[in-house]
Amino acid sequence: MPPRTPAAPVTLDAVELRILHMPLVSPFTTSFGTETVREVIVVRAETSDGVGWGEVVTQAEPFYSSEYTQGAWDVLTRFLAPALLERRAVAPEEVAGILAPVVGHRMAKAGLELAVIDAALRADGRSFGQYLGAEKDRVPSGVSVGIQRDPAALVDTVGGYLDEGYVRIKIKIKPGRDIDDTAAVRAAFGGIPLQVDANSAYTLADADTLQGLDAFDLLLIEQPLQEDDIVDHATLARRLTTPVCLDESIVSDKAAADALQLGAAAIINIKAGRVGGYLEALAIHDRCRAAGVPVWCGGMLETGIGRAANAALAALPGFLLPGDISASARFYDRDIVTAPAVLEDGHVRVPTDPGLGVEIDETALDAFTVHRERITR
């Protein structure tokens, strides 16, 4: 799906890749493990008109997704970046097609595409929000809360985020840490907007347990079953009154179309990295909006680069639920942009300067860099 107004091509001279290790302010625990340091790849596209920045949202290990940092690094350096550099003059809307011969590796492709978009829009003097068709200047901010030591600790943590002003709470769940945790949060805070995220931790055999969550008036249950269990998600959705939202299963516009046709999802979480880029995310948004299906923007513990891009995406009219676009301080004491996202009255502002609308803190970038490579033609 093309953007509302396409961008002019840029002349790509080089691509610089960096692996960063960024300490988290506190451990982040989900059904697939605990992170204390965010490992992320930052992409710098060097063009004749300036530079652009992107972010590859893989994790160090292939537990959330089959993609992981070292695999993304390999495909970026050996295949994806050389393919773009060979073309030299590249419009952002052409990136996906150029990279299509490489099967999969959507997160790597998304980071490279974003860097090209940022460079092109900086040259055009347009913001990313304008490019996508954003209709809001700020977006409501939800927060994702990892699995805590026990329900009491979870209640304390959630209370802190509510005090900070977050307008929606999402708690991570897994077998054995679901009903009691959800009940504790609902009992402590009444009718707050609350949803749960299973990160594929259950099977259809757990349907009775998941039905137990219907008692808590949740906004949604996110990705209860495995990524490829679209049919089972449809079966489960018919047994629950809580709306089923798909995350890991939505890897493309085609996957979204299939899920909607089968009745596997009443709501869709759009993550640009997971679907191969922000233009594919735009296509999913447009499809869901036409079908009357609400979407929201999920998070991958992004740096200020991805956080700015997500804010612009979430400002599109079909994003009807608060996303995981929290303040940078939710995860990092120090970000790699000069003006990190902050929470203002429960919202995060959509950047309006050209490109992604953020500038890189080169000192912080260098401090977190553990490996770098510059690729030329």
Question: Does residue 1 surpass a pLDDT of 70?
Answer: no
Kindly state the average pLDDT of the residues 276-283. Answer: 98
Query: In sequence order, what are the residues at sequence separation of 6 or more whose Cβ sits closer than 8 angstroms to the Cβ of residue 263?
Result: 234, 237, 238
Residue 272 has pLDDT above 80, yes or no: yes
Asked if 17 contacts 294 with a C-beta cutoff of 8 angstroms, the reply is no
Nearest to 240, CA basis, from 210, 264, 216:
210
| pLDDT tens for each residue of 318-367 | 999 999 999 999 999 999 999 999 999 999 999 999 999 999 999 999 99
Is 70 exceeded by the pLDDT of residue 269?
yes
For the cut 70, the answer to whether the pLDDT of residue 2 exceeds it is: no
Where b means 16+ CB within 10 Å and e means fewer, 4-37 reads eeebebbebeebbbbbbebebeeebbbbbeebee
Q: Are 127 and 121 in contact (CB under 8 A)?
A: yes
Encode pLDDT of 99-154 as tens digits: 999 999 999 999 999 999 999 999 999 999 999 999 999 999 999 999 999 999 99
The answer to whether residues 13 and 81 touch, using CB atoms and an 8 Å cutoff, is: no
Please, are residues 325 and 299 in contact by the beta-carbon 8 Å criterion?
yes
Q: What are the pLDDT digits (tens) for 167-213?
A: 999 999 999 999 999 999 999 999 999 999 999 999 999 999 999 99
Catalytic residue list contains 271: yes
Q: What is the pTM of this model?
A: 0.96
Q: Alpha helix (H) ranges present in the chain?
A: 69-75, 81-87, 95-99, 106-124, 128-132, 151-164, 179-189, 207-211, 230-239, 253-262, 272-275, 278-291, 304-314, 362-368
Residue 3 main-chain phi, psi, to 5 deg:
-70, 175
> Residue 5 — pLDDT band, cuts 50, 70, 90?
confident
In whole angstroms, what is the distance from residue 20 CA to residue 107 CA? 16
Residue 283, CA atoms < 13 Å, CB-side half-sphere: 17
> Domains, the chain, ranges and CATH?
10-125+361-376 (3.30.390.10), 130-349 (3.20.20.120)
Candidates 109, 170, 174, 271; catalytic one: 271
Q: Please tell me the distance from the alpha carbon of residue 38 to that of residue 182, in angstroms, as a whole number.
A: 27
* Mean pLDDT to the nearest integer, 76-96: 97
Sign of CA dihedral 224, 228, 230, 231: negative
* Nearest-5° Cα angle at 69, 276 to 9: 40
Supply 298's token pair.
């999920």
- Of 122, 221, 167, the C-alpha closest to 345 is 167
pLDDT (average), residues 298-313: 97
Residue 149: is it exposed, middle or buried by C-beta count within 10 angstroms (0-12/13-18/19+)?
exposed
Contact 328, 335 (CB under 8 A): yes
Q: Rounded to the nearest 10 degrees, how much is the dihedral formed by the CA atoms of 274, 276, 277, 282?
A: -80
User: Token pair 């011969």 is at which residue?
Assistant: 101
pLDDT in tens, 62-84: 999 999 999 999 999 999 999 99
CA dihedral 262, 264, 268, 274 (to 10 degrees): -90
Question: DSSP secondary structure string, 310-324?
Answer: HHHHHTSTTB-S-BS
Give Dmax (Cα) for the chain.
60
Q: Which of 109, 170, 172, 174 is catalytic?
A: 172
